[in-house]
Chain A
Amino acid sequence: MSANLSTGTFRPYTGEKARIARAYDYLVLVLALFLFIGSFHLHFALTVGDWDFWVDWKDRQWWPLVTPLIGITFPAAVQAVLWTNFRLPLGATLCVACLSIGTWIARIFAYHYWNFFPINMVMPSTLLPSALFLDAVLMISNSLTITAIFGGSAFALLFYPSNWPIFGMFHLPVEAGNSQLTVADMFGFQYIRTGMPEYLRIIERGTLRTYGQIATPLSAFCSALLCTLMYTLWWHIGKWFATTRYLNRI
């Protein structure tokens, strides 16, 4: 029935109605904020896990592969809902902002205050530049295909360079025990983790390893390709989950 409404007969809300609609906005936003802080952060902690927890897991191969791949899931789903129904291009930024809030809270309280790790050892990575770009692509293109291909790829490709200013300095070489280690490796050696011995780190392993110096770009392009698919998949999951049933009646 909403299709029957034409531009000519559209009457914007005023007065009480406008106020109620605004209150509804805030209610939804606050709920979304809490929901995403909790759920996206949990999803991230369970999947990306150690690659995001520990500074000595942030390698050239797995970290830039896994993080964007998981990081694009919720943004894609939320974009699908907010863009198709409301033309709001902020799904990705909103999700990633919530993820950052949740992660920082966890690192400070669970890791630092409760388990005594220095915060610099468990600093999260940022996906915000990637998310901003993704939102902008969707807004300009208004197309799932273009956003999946260009936005999804950029989401992955921007990840490593946008985090290098945070983590680059942890890769300075240190001489320890007659060998060369990075500062990050020293954190792993010095700050004792009983359940996380060094050999459990899944870093610098696999076929890409053979490509040595260009392992990072290769890994990022691999991630870009997968992100394109992941984006499309989660866009559809988002659409399937979302329902505007009762908005249809307004």
Chain B
Amino acid sequence: MKTTKKRNVEISVKTINCNEAKPNLQSSLLDYLLLLGMIFSVYMLTLQPAHAHGEKNLEPYVRMRTIQWYDVQWSKQKFNVNDEVSVTGKFHVAEDWPISVPKPDAAFLNISTPGPVMVRTERYLNGKPYMNSVALQPGGDYDFKVVLKGRLPGRYHIHPFFNLLDAGQVMGPGVWLDIGGDEADFTNNIQTINGQAINMETYGLANGIFWHSFWALIGTAWLLWWVRRPLFIVRYRMLHAGLEEELVTPLDRNIGKAILVGVPLLVFVFYTMTVNEYPKAIPLQASLDQILPLSAKVNAGVVEVDTVRAEYRVAERSMKLSLKIKNGSDKAIQIGEFATGGVHFLNKVAPVSQQHDAESVVAAEGLSLDNPAPIQPGEERAVLMTAGDALWESEKLDGLIKDADSRIGGLIFFYDTEGERYVSSVTAAVIPKFN
């Protein structure tokens, strides 16, 4: 009697289980889709979307008073896969480095590509090749060169920029690059110290796939060994019926023992083989490069500039800087350009050829002076310089007056009658004027 009753219960429970299976399946699928979505967003965060340069994202005072880029030029902007292209330029590290931004103790000169559409083959700072990161010195002058090689055809907006430890990315000026040709033609070969040639695109891949497959095969065999038998319900019942012996048979146990001995043995043998094959292997290199600034290029001592006061006229979108300028050179000089946060304000009355960044953001007539006459040798003059343009707003530099740190920083470019250039940095607290 008792057993029949039990069997009835079993059957009814089974039916319920089967009915439950469907909503379970659906909700699990939904969970799974949610999970996939989460994974997807994690990758989005990790890998960064393709065209988010973030050139205007940083606070204006960070863009104006950290890395001050100038003379950034590309060797060419149209080239093919496998062609080399180089970007050169200079930057001044602001003396007036913002207190809220960590000092540039580790800085990495990078290129804002949407993934490795180019590979970086060489990189120089002050003429010295460097591979890791460097410490930059506030007030220091540097020049750089990065050599790149086209890998994926396309049209990309590319900037050199600095990753600064704990501070973020400070963008240099950007240009459009057109990479033509065929992706399949790309080659990238390097040599080890022993002279072994390495194709970076495929090196170690087949070997890696082999080892992954090798262990996957053994793992799959182990899984199938168990999965081929009745699993959950049956084993659960048997376990609770005290039939544990039948669930794990002596053969299973022997295979288990074989794994306990065999797997470590195989691992050890393969490890030893690899160690013998690559006795010259070294640890990953994790040093910081050491490169000192150039002799002063900005504030080199010939032309001295002192910033007395800076006012930002909100309605006119213009910055008025009161400067005290002393011309220590032996020729008359004129202000040709004021550059800050990637924007160049040019003085229309200064008849000099200005060398600014390729495709830079320029206010061609944005700069005016209260007294346009050249500053004579030895002369000391108070100058009111006005840099006015809608670019203050469109480049989001006018946010400065609402920041916790509302100091401006930038570079003034002077030219003498022979075309000689002198660069001075300026910095001052900005006072907003609303009418």
Contact = CB atoms under 8 A, between A and B. Distances in A.
B117 interface: yes
A27 interface: yes
B112 A194 contact: yes
A136 B260 contact: yes
B222 A90 contact: yes
A15 interface: no
B240 A2 contact: yes
Contacts of A133: 259-260, 263-264
A18 B237 CA distance: 12
Contact of A182 (B39, B191, B222, B284): B284
Interface stretch (A52-60, A66-74, A223-231, A232-240): A52-60
B124 to A, nearest CB: 8
Interface in B249-278: 252-253, 256-257, 259-260, 263-264, 266-268, 270-271, 273-275, 277-278
B14 A181 contact: no
A129 B259 CA distance: 9
Interface string A11-25: 011000110111011
Interface stretch (B24-32, B312-320, B341-349, B399-407): B24-32
B283 A45 contact: no
Nearest to A111: B47
B378 interface: no
A171 to B, nearest CB: 4
A178 B232 contact: no
A154 B260 CA distance: 10
A214 interface: no
Given A171-B284, A192-B119, A204-B283, A100 B205 contact: no
Given A49-B46, A59-B284, A164-B274, 4 more contacts: A5-B241, A87-B244, A100-B216, A120-B203
20 contacts: A6-B241, A18-B234, A25-B230, A27-B21, A87-B247, A104-B212, A120-B208, A123-B205, A129-B266, A129-B267, A135-B256, A165-B270, A172-B282, A177-B130, A179-B289, A187-B200, A193-B116, A194-B48, A247-B232, A250-B236
Interface of B: 3, 9-10, 13-14, 17-18, 21, 24-25, 28-29, 31-32, 35-36, 38-39, 42-43, 46-48, 106-108, 110-113, 115-123, 128-133, 151-152, 161, 163, 165, 169, 188, 190-194, 196, 198, 200-205, 207-208, 211-212, 215-216, 218-220, 222-223, 226-227, 230-244, 247-248, 252-253, 256-257, 259-260, 263-264, 266-268, 270-271, 273-275, 277-278, 280-286, 288-289
Interface of A: 2-3, 5-7, 9-10, 12-13, 17-18, 20-22, 24-25, 27-29, 31, 34-35, 38-39, 41-42, 45-46, 49, 53, 56-60, 85-90, 93-94, 96-97, 100, 104, 106, 110-111, 114-120, 123-124, 126, 128-129, 131-133, 135-137, 139-140, 154, 158, 161-162, 164-187, 189-195, 197-201, 203-205, 215, 244, 246-247, 249-250
